[in-house]
Amino acid sequence: MDQIVIRGGNPLKGRIPISGAKNSALTLLPCALLTDEPLTLRNLPRLADVDSFGHLLNQLGATTMIEGSHPQDFGRVMTIRASRITATMAPYDIVRKMRASILVLGPLLARTGEATVSLPGGCAIGNRPIDLHLKALEAFGAEIEIAAGYVKAVAPGGRLAGGTYRFPVVSVGATENALMAAALAKGTCVIENAAREPEIVDLCKCLVAMGASIDGIGGATLTIEGRDRLHGATYNVMPDRIEAGSYACAALITGGEIDLVGARIDEMQATVDALIDAGATVEQRGDAVHVGSNGKLRGINLTTAPYPGFATDMQAQFMAMLTLAEGASVLTETIFENRYMHVPELARMGADIRVDGHTAIVRGVDGLKGAPVMATDLRASMSLIIAGLAAEGETQVSRIYHLDRGYERLEEKLQAVGADIERIDGG
């Protein structure tokens, strides 16, 4: 099994290109199922999850073509064409690897009138039920049955009728599925208490480019006037605000400064605010967001929340950074109930962290020590990389397949800004 080996202590300095957003790419790919014309996505990150989603689309009858794919390049251009849907079942062997596969449910149902999708897998970071996905589709007219580990959805008469659904709690994935399903409904669909993440806005903009009618983009109420058909489009995937925030934490824990090329402050404002509170300088400089150390890091209090609050996907990276901050930090996780699995691994490196239910108290220490550690999920694995970059000695991170799901060419980007990091082939 491959490992990443880090010899810590080098301040990171230079420019890091920010890739297309994983969480947006995995939402835009299934949009191709809504039309028989080509959908071309630019700035698509080279990630294992993107490849897996492409394989799933192939199984459903879509063709995928990658243009100008060179190993030295970041990002790709992919054209997906679902001229004809040849299967309406997303099987367990693919869906179990990636939770985002559930996002084919809405577009398949909208396009063909039926869909059968395995219950999803993905990172083991807590209970993430899909009941809100199903309730929204039912509100739009779907008939749904769950049996033998599969969801079977049918639109009577071949198309969803339309309707209104108010989410009892904000759900990004359920909002995405509902949006795509609504785009081809016979009537009007209204989504209330919708997620407002930049990735949701990205999805709305892509659907509008394909001919969808969506009112209220960026707000908590979305009104979709169903269309008889959508057409093809070319669309650029937004930059990854989570990747940008992760590299910002890496720069600060090492006492360095970097330019996050392509990042947008307005899409990661909660992360920027937290960085500044912790003692960083953050400013837009031309095509990049500049992040620099402003002396010693200081402890802060953070609570994860739906956008525009502080993202749960940034919690682990901030925790790693704050292990070397002056004073104590208090982190409260409100989104997922099992997202502190990185704590024992950070403790192996000398971090002082105590977990009490949903709250973690991080007391800054004078230094971290390199150690063998094991990644437990995508963002937890990045927290270990961040800690290793500042630790004395050598850190070996195992189970790095998690990293490959969400960070494009990570070791190359970090090497370019001065990190002593390499991937060791486990054979």
For 94-251, strand residue ranges (E) read 114-118, 143-147, 150-154, 163-166, 188-192, 213-215, 221-225, 233-236
Q: Is 217 annotated as a binding residue?
A: no
| Stretches in the chain below the pLDDT threshold 70 | 68-73, 121-128, 337-338, 427
Q: What is the pLDDT of residues 337-358, one digit of tens each?
A: 667 889 999 999 999 999 999 9
Residues 222, 175: Cα–Cα separation, whole Å? 10
- Please report the pLDDT score of residue 125 as a whole number: 32
Reading phi first (left if > 0) and then psi (alpha if -120 to 50, else beta), residue 193 is in: left
Query: What is the DSSP annotation of 374-407?
Result: E--SHHHHHHHHHHHHHSBSEEEEE-THHHHTT-
Q: Is 335 annotated as a binding residue?
A: yes
Q: Is 159 annotated as a binding residue?
A: no
State the CB neighbour count (10 A cutoff) for residue 33.
27
State the CB neighbour count (10 A cutoff) for residue 266.
9
Q: Is 258 annotated as a binding residue?
A: no
Architecture category of domain 22-236 in CATH: Alpha-beta prism (3.65)
Q: Tell me, what DSSP letter sits at residue 96? A: T
- Please report the pLDDT score of residue 123 as a whole number: 38
**Which residues are 223's β-sheet partners?**
190, 215
How many degrees, rounded to 5, is the angle at CA 150 between CA 149 and CA 152? 155
Q: Decide: 170 and 335 in contact? Cβ < 8 Å.
A: no
- pTM confidence score: 0.95
Q: Is 377 annotated as a binding residue?
A: no
Q: Is 22 annotated as a binding residue?
A: yes
- Please report the pLDDT score of residue 413 as a whole number: 97
Q: Decide: 367 and 350 in contact? Cβ < 8 Å.
A: yes
- Please report the pLDDT score of residue 124 as a whole number: 40
- Please report the pLDDT score of residue 183 as a whole number: 98
**Alpha-carbon torsion (306, 99, 354, 399), positive or negative:** negative
- The H or E element containing residue 301 is strand 301-303
Buried b (16+ CB within 10 A) or exposed e, 146-157: eeeebbbbbbee
Residues 319, 322: Cα–Cα separation, whole Å? 5
Query: What is the DSSP annotation of 114-125?
Result: EEEEEPP----S
Q: Is 119 annotated as a binding residue?
A: no
**414 contacts: CB under 8 Å, gap ≥ 6:** 12, 16, 250, 385, 389, 421
Domain with CATH 3.65.10.10 in the chain: 3-19+239-424, 22-236
- Does the 3-19+239-424 domain belong in CATH 3.65.10.10? yes
Three-class DSSP category at 39: strand
Closest among 381, 379, 371 to 351, alpha carbons compared: 371
Residues annotated as catalytic are 123
**Alpha-carbon torsion (199, 205, 207, 209), positive or negative:** negative
Closest among 320, 340, 328 to 389, alpha carbons compared: 320
- Please report the pLDDT score of residue 337 as a whole number: 66
Cβ neighbourhood burial of 355 (10 Å; 0-12, 13-18, 19+): middle
